[in-house]
Structure 1
């Protein structure tokens, strides 16, 4: 009794010279030749390699194809098969971090950046519209109608990523971090490169801030892992970073580097090996306006509640501002109920007043 043949799928490429193409793919790409058909005068050949199954077919009259080879090896020049298919080499992973080009003060108000409808009923707005030449993305995301989320286990290749809860709550599971975590207003987590995670459920009216650098990065699906994993390894490193979970109720307040403010350090600077710093700020006593500057590559602030004046502009809840290094700016009119999310790259930097 013949063995049952497994189902297979092939990418079909046009072929004008079967023997020449076979020689090309086996020599240049090191693909394996599996079989030719028919034996006496073959018109097609099956090859495999790099997770790819190819069918070269002289009967197929389509346009030449394109193969993109993801390889960490040194990039090669673009090649073309004898039948015209283009072979292009690309790096499998984009840089984790991207340097920030010189940038100006960028103020983003709730009124000036309307919400844009996204997938699955979400809305979002860009808090750094310029994205600093691709260096960073800061998204304000809201989900009006919550409930269980049909999310896949996935990970990102961003060099640094932060998820901060503005209002409502969101439940997530993270690789080797124990039972699911529920973020509430004022809480945050970092998502180190390649840590597997999944969104489980959200409240109605959820709002979160998601910050990632570089602005464009890969989201990859893990079809094998189940979350939670049942393991707890809080010291595990993911590409040099530890997972960090901060809750507002556990905050320890100390005088901030700027007068009139108190700060609660989230632990992100230590967990990210100094790559980034995240602090929650609140008002602490009255302070007159003052001029200050800093030398951080990036200093981003989101107004959670209350108000603060930057230069001549009064910013209120939902507004955000990004201040470039070495430029002087004026801070004043800090309201008694102000609450700010401050994110810096790197984690520590100098301030001048």
Structure 2
């Protein structure tokens, strides 16, 4: 990315301002964050970049506007704010700041299913429900994302500055397209993609009642519009890596389920050992004990019910379809899954200091 200047303006409602600049003035979204409940966006047109920051400044202040100079020269990117003689604030920032990966804060987290009406409108009009409140100190985000009405999605070619990200379809279908992966394709319930860091992609269309589970790291990350790329762009070199990870599409219709009822979605190999994703289907009641030393162990109940208790406590927590939990690495748990239960399990490996 080359150096660029942005004029930063405060606003009280980011979505209203985005609609004004994109629909009425023809600007395109170049960056937005966070995806689930945006408070910042950069829009561009004809070499002009405007940064909209919700609730960032006192709107009555004469110095509410800031000129942000994104510098390639590290010596200039000091993060020091200066004020010009006319009162304009000037801030020099790195053009490509490093991604921050917080160390996970381990704790037991239980999240109950919530109606779509309680969800938050996020990027491209998608409805987000947070599945890891507190986000383990900013280390991870898991979201239930819904598109109630279906039809064409108001999305654009974009990419994420992330450690990893996955999309699992719970209900409905969604049409997507990815860089170097050929023509658009449709994902159905039980299908999943791993989006390696910075792969360009776009959501095109969905059925009414689409529901997906999205898990990624870090919790707060930037989404950039890929204004220079059109998709589809053909089929790229087989085995291409994006930051040591491969794009991976898991089709439930072609999957092999083990004798133990476990469907491994192949994410550990594709992510270069960063995380795994499995679906457990229990044909009969099953009990087992879990203890781990990983960054994340996350369960989402797709169907049926599951109960767990800390081994030394004896107090049981029951989870039903749509509920989820994070089991911390600090404890050991007894787990009971009832007959017919289906559970999505995500583990992220290793501790980052």
**Normalising TM by the smaller chain, what interval?**
0.7 to 0.9
The alignment's TM-score, normalised by the length of structure 1, stands at 0.73
Check the 8 A contact 2:69/2:91 in 1, yes or no. yes
- Is the 8 Å Cα contact of residues 234 and 243 (structure 1) preserved in structure 2? no
> Could you tell me how far 1:230 is from its partner in structure 2?
1.8
Contact 1:121–1:144, Cα closer than 8 Å, also in 2: no
- Show CA shifts across 1:64-99 (max 9, x none): 953323346254262536625443333344544623
Deviation at 1:266, TM superposition (A): 1.3
Query: 1:267, CA displacement in angstroms?
Result: 1.5
How much does 1:278 deviate? 1.2
Q: 2:330 and 2:106 mapped to 1: Cα distance?
A: 11
Conserved? CA contact 1:78–1:86, under 8 Å: no
| TM-score, structure 2 normalization | 0.73
Alignment equivalent of 1:303, drawn from 294, 301, 304: 301
SS at match of 1:133: helix
Q: Using the TM superposition, give the Cα deviation of residue 178 of structure 1 relative to its aligned residue in structure 2, in angstroms.
A: 1.1
- Partners of 1:97 and 1:141 in 2: CA distance: 24
The corresponding residue for 1:91 is: 94
Counterpart-to-counterpart distance in 2, 1:77 and 1:149: 37
| SS at 1:208 equivalent | strand
In structure 1, C-alpha distance between the alignment counterparts of 2:330 and 2:120, rounded to whole Å? 37
Cα distance in structure 1, aligned partners of 2:129 and 2:232: 31
Structure 2 residue aligned with 1:278:
277
> CA 1:319/1:301 → structure 2, altered by over 3 Å: closer, same or farther?
same
2:347 is matched with 344
Equivalent position of 1:209 in the other structure: 213
SS of equivalent to 1:88:
strand
**Change beyond 3 A, Cα 1:94–1:165:** farther
Give the count of matched residue pairs.
Answer: 287
Distance 2:193 2:343 in 1: 16
Alignment gaps of 5+ in structure 1: 1-8, 12-50, 54-61, 256-260, 349-353
Structure 2 residue runs of 5 or longer lacking an equivalent are: 8-46, 50-61, 310-315
Report the CA distance between 1:285 and its aligned residue.
Answer: 4.8
**What's 1:323 paired with?**
327
RMSD: 3.0
**Greater relative contact order (CA < 8 Å, ≥ 6 in sequence):** 2
